[in-house]
Chains A and B, each alone.
Chain A
């Protein structure tokens, strides 16, 4: 268990920098998810931490020891950093036990370590299998046991669940999460899946164009996104015009509590309202103007079973950008064409 820090990291191939002035701080024993679109430099970051690539500038330390600062460079085999690549990358010529024991000494390999590790990931019965005889989830767990065998100070997971199909993914994700919590190993997980990042990690760092845009707990990020693209990246949003006064925002959907200060004390601006904050009710024909809420009409209903996403067009509004998104219980799904009233609840964040 060690504290991992990355400071002012630069790395590029040819003239184009892939990582620019990147800072990352992963406290001992925690799990940080690095979230970003493909091509933003996530894998490169992991490869620099693992030691497969050298930093051009910046410093990388683990438990107070400098691993790479442009001058010093500790080769990967001396770093005590475990690495689980995409798809597992098991050695195809070794069986499960051989894979897990690869990093151990000859004596250790004969001892109890390998069976214990296999027990831990629930694969004790498969020790003699070859990698191609395993399912995707089993391969992933073997790769994890292999990386943990040397008791690494830090563990790197590169999109570990993206190659699994949807039904398997949720289960393997839970198992791995449980395991990492037990081991208490400092972990960096990179992913392009915001749901995965938010649900698994203690801290989420959002990587964009080789730079960390924001780092914080999942709730902090979801509730206080640094900018509009980030707000949209973490989930669907409604952006509403608002007037600010006394820590409140006046919007078309009602007066809402304001979370955080609007920029430079401005009196008006945009606020982020998540779809699950909208209450939607069918509107009667005879409904007068005095009724509470904002009048609109359901334009589209995406039904997911457990919930439904409604696209609601305000009455008389032609601009597609003003269409509101509302997430409601599956049982409350309303068919397209239904006239509705919309209200918002909860606190909103100014941008």
Chain B
């Protein structure tokens, strides 16, 4: 007899979840229904808003020359930025993970840190150095430097996770090193590359602040202008729907492209770290290239922040309290993080422990906000509250809910992976030892997923604390967060006064980015 248990067939595997289909767990079902409702609410009311003035008017709004310009602007920006991010991300990841480049560990951290700097702060960093910087090339430069870590991180993780034995096997089957890389390694990191590029594209479609700073007209900028300056809610809603359609198309395209690669799984057995490749004469030039990348993405924004901090600020705007802004930011973000994490628990519980078509649909829905720019969610919530809940219009509560919807995917990813690591077998043993389901959740599930909950909370907190677009739209009159106060100063060219606010935001978000890169290094 072999010492390992033979594989049970799929039917038996699947059954290792609670299959008590007749009874839906009340609490989880209720929570998940609320999450799904919240995700769909802004979309539904955008549709209501857009068709308010009839289809003819809509057609007139959408079939304008301006919409074509916006499409062209978004397209050329997206293609250039995504390609650049892919090249920089994969190249940097390969150098750090697979070559003998010196100073690998500090580099691995430096390369991820730009993720902790909000895009509009990167824009501020460059433009405050060179006020002449604007238009297409400036937008490409700033967004590439802000977003390339989104490709670097997953690709580095994938490269680090590849079994070196696979490459050796390919070599022994007669493949030259380059061929082995192309046919084995590239195939394995392909889903990571695509996933990173998807995040870059969605980030580009949702960005507002950085483009406003370099005066580059995209959908988001136009929607914001229509709504905030033109007070044209119908046009804003119509353009938002176009943006949503584009984002969902991108999401679908990525799913289709990566579909087969995702199914790839490594079998059991010990993994062998792959051999590093000697760069030879290219070693120091490669290091210089990576340092230049870090300098542009990290050095310039941080440097100009420090410069303006030392300059001190004089401003024509009314004085504001950085303490109050910080307090508001922390309170709003903490509330949003708690709400998003709380909603992610029932969604993950249903998706993992009561798997069926409905719960699967709810789980998919919870990822939809990935394709919904913050501006779109904010406009949808405005459309809803103005019509049906005016007392909530521009309330802190509305803003918290907007954050929670916007960053629900982050929370679900964190909670779901933690929940998947907590075997349902443990919960069953708990039941057989006399604990009711609610006790089992408190005594077994909760302690096991606590780290995942904490990670989810931190991610949503940081994202909310640096959110600008939805905040500008939804904040209660007179309430300022770090992001909005920074924005008020920057658009008034009071760079010195803006710098402390950006500095605080960078500090808040650099911590998780640093922890993320540390965890990567250990893995």
A contact residues vs B (CB 8 Å cutoff)? 13, 16, 18, 38-39, 43-44, 47, 50-54, 75-79, 81-83, 85-86, 89, 91-93, 102-103, 146-147, 149-150, 159, 162-166, 169, 192-193, 195
Q: Distance (Å) between the CB of B360 and the closest chain A CB?
A: 16
Bound Cα distance from A82 to B430, whole angstroms: 10
Can you list 11 A-B pairs with a CB-CB distance of less than 8 A?
A52-B18, A52-B432, A82-B433, A83-B428, A93-B448, A102-B443, A150-B434, A162-B4, A163-B5, A166-B1, A169-B3
Bound Cα distance from A206 to B517, whole angstroms: 54
The one of B9, B423, B432, B436 that contacts A51, using a Cβ cutoff of 8 Å: B432
Contact B19 A89 (CB under 8 A): no
Task: Tell me which residues across on chain B come within 8 A of A83, comparing CB atoms.
Answer: 428-429, 432
Contact A43 B448 (CB under 8 A): no
Whose C-beta in chain B lies nearest to the C-beta of A156?
A: B432
Contact A82 B432 (CB under 8 A): yes
Whose C-beta in chain A lies nearest to the C-beta of B14?
A: A13
Indicate whether B130 reaches chain A with its CB closer than 8 angstroms.
Answer: no
The one of A39, A44, A76 that contacts B431, using a Cβ cutoff of 8 Å: A76
Indicate whether B56 reaches chain A with its CB closer than 8 angstroms.
Answer: no
The one of A38, A93, A166 that contacts B3, using a Cβ cutoff of 8 Å: A166
The one of A18, A91, A103, A162 that contacts B434, using a Cβ cutoff of 8 Å: A103
Indicate whether B15 reaches chain A with its CB closer than 8 angstroms.
Answer: yes
Contact B423 A89 (CB under 8 A): yes
Q: Distance (Å) between the CB of A243 and the closest chain B CB?
A: 37
Contact A16 B11 (CB under 8 A): yes
Given A38-B6, A75-B431, A163-B5: A89 in contact with B11 (beta carbons within 8 A): no
Return the 9 tightest CB-CB contacts between A and B, nearest first.
A103-B433, A76-B431, A83-B432, A38-B6, A39-B9, A93-B447, A162-B5, A89-B425, A103-B434
User: Which of A13, A78, A195 has the most chain B CB atoms closer than 10 A to its own CB?
Assistant: A13
Q: Distance (Å) between the CB of B2 and the closest chain A CB?
A: 9
Q: Distance (Å) between the CB of A159 and the closest chain B CB?
A: 6
Task: Tell me which residues across on chain A come within 8 A of B3, comparing CB atoms.
Answer: 162-166, 169
Contact B431 A52 (CB under 8 A): yes
Task: Tell me which residues across on chain A come within 8 A of B266, comparing CB atoms.
Answer: none
Contact A53 B433 (CB under 8 A): no
Contact B426 A193 (CB under 8 A): no
Tell me the dominant secondary structure on chain A's binding face. loop
Bound Cα distance from A166 to B22, whole angstroms: 42
Which B residues from 26 to 61 make CB contacts under 8 A with A? none
Contact B436 A77 (CB under 8 A): yes
Task: Tell me which residues across on chain A come within 8 A of B429, comparing CB atoms.
Answer: 83, 85, 89, 91, 146
Q: Distance (Å) between the CB of A346 and the closest chain B CB?
A: 26
Given A13-B15, A38-B7, A159-B5: A77 in contact with B425 (beta carbons within 8 A): no
Contact B426 A43 (CB under 8 A): no
Task: Tell me which residues across on chain B come within 8 A of A38, comparing CB atoms.
Answer: 5-9
| New contact pairs (15) apart from A89-B426, A92-B448, CB-CB < 8 Å | A13-B19, A52-B431, A52-B432, A54-B19, A75-B431, A81-B432, A83-B428, A83-B429, A91-B444, A93-B444, A93-B447, A149-B433, A162-B3, A164-B3, A166-B3
Interface string of B427-465 (1 = CB under 8 A from A): 011111111100000011001100000000000000000
Bound Cα distance from A102 to B433, whole angstroms: 7
Q: Distance (Å) between the CB of B313 and the closest chain A CB?
A: 50
Chain B: interface residue total (CB-CB under 8 A): 32
Q: Distance (Å) between the CB of A99 and the closest chain B CB?
A: 9
Task: Tell me which residues across on chain A come within 8 A of B19, comparing CB atoms.
Answer: 13, 53-54
User: Which of B7, B14, B434, B435 has the most chain A CB atoms closer than 10 A to its own CB?
Assistant: B434
Task: Tell me which residues across on chain B come within 8 A of A47, comparing CB atoms.
Answer: 15, 428
Task: Tell me which residues across on chain A come within 8 A of B430, comparing CB atoms.
Answer: 91, 102
Bound Cα distance from A166 to B2, whole angstroms: 8
Bound Cα distance from A44 to B423, whole angstroms: 17
Bound Cα distance from A53 to B22, whole angstroms: 11
The one of B8, B423, B426 that contacts A39, using a Cβ cutoff of 8 Å: B8
Bound Cα distance from A248 to B435, whole angstroms: 60
Whose C-beta in chain B lies nearest to the C-beta of A50?
A: B432
Contact A44 B12 (CB under 8 A): yes
Q: Distance (Å) between the CB of A46 and the closest chain B CB?
A: 11
Bound Cα distance from A93 to B448, whole angstroms: 7
Contact A44 B6 (CB under 8 A): no
Task: Tell me which residues across on chain B come within 8 A of A93, comparing CB atoms.
Answer: 444, 447-448
Bound Cα distance from A150 to B436, whole angstroms: 15
Bound Cα distance from A165 to B1, whole angstroms: 10
Given A44-B15, A47-B15, A76-B432: A54 in contact with B5 (beta carbons within 8 A): no
Task: Tell me which residues across on chain B come within 8 A of A195, comparing CB atoms.
Answer: 1
Bound Cα distance from A85 to B16, whole angstroms: 11
Task: Tell me which residues across on chain A come within 8 A of B436, comparing CB atoms.
Answer: 75, 77
Task: Tell me which residues across on chain B come within 8 A of A146, comparing CB atoms.
Answer: 429, 433
Bound Cα distance from A86 to B338, whole angstroms: 36
Interface string of B341-375 (1 = CB under 8 A from A): 00000000000000000000000000000000000
Bound Cα distance from A234 to B436, whole angstroms: 41
Q: Distance (Å) between the CB of A48 and the closest chain B CB?
A: 10
Q: Distance (Å) between the CB of A235 and the closest chain B CB?
A: 13
Bound Cα distance from A50 to B11, whole angstroms: 19
Contact B431 A77 (CB under 8 A): yes
Task: Tell me which residues across on chain A come within 8 A of B443, comparing CB atoms.
Answer: 102
Bound Cα distance from A163 to B435, whole angstroms: 27
Contact A43 B12 (CB under 8 A): yes
Contact B432 A53 (CB under 8 A): no
Whose C-beta in chain A lies nearest to the C-beta of B436?
A: A77
Task: Tell me which residues across on chain A come within 8 A of B8, comparing CB atoms.
Answer: 38-39, 43
Bound Cα distance from A195 to B1, whole angstroms: 9
Q: Distance (Å) between the CB of B16 and the closest chain A CB?
A: 8
Whose C-beta in chain B lies nearest to the C-beta of A193?
A: B1
Whose C-beta in chain A lies nearest to the C-beta of B444?
A: A91
Contact B7 A150 (CB under 8 A): no
Given A86-B5, A89-B423, A91-B444: A76 in contact with B12 (beta carbons within 8 A): no
Bound Cα distance from A114 to B340, whole angstroms: 40
Bound Cα distance from A150 to B19, whole angstroms: 26
Q: Distance (Å) between the CB of A250 and the closest chain B CB?
A: 37
Contact B431 A150 (CB under 8 A): no
Bound Cα distance from A252 to B149, whole angstroms: 79
Task: Tell me which residues across on chain A come within 8 A of B426, comparing CB atoms.
Answer: 89, 91
Task: Tell me which residues across on chain B come within 8 A of A53, comparing CB atoms.
Answer: 15, 19-20
Bound Cα distance from A162 to B448, whole angstroms: 26
Task: Tell me which residues across on chain A come within 8 A of B6, comparing CB atoms.
Answer: 38, 192
Task: Tell me which residues across on chain B come within 8 A of A76, comparing CB atoms.
Answer: 428, 431-432
Which B residues from 401 to 432 make CB contacts under 8 A with A? 423, 425-426, 428-432
Task: Tell me which residues across on chain A come within 8 A of B22, comparing CB atoms.
Answer: 54
Contact A85 B20 (CB under 8 A): no
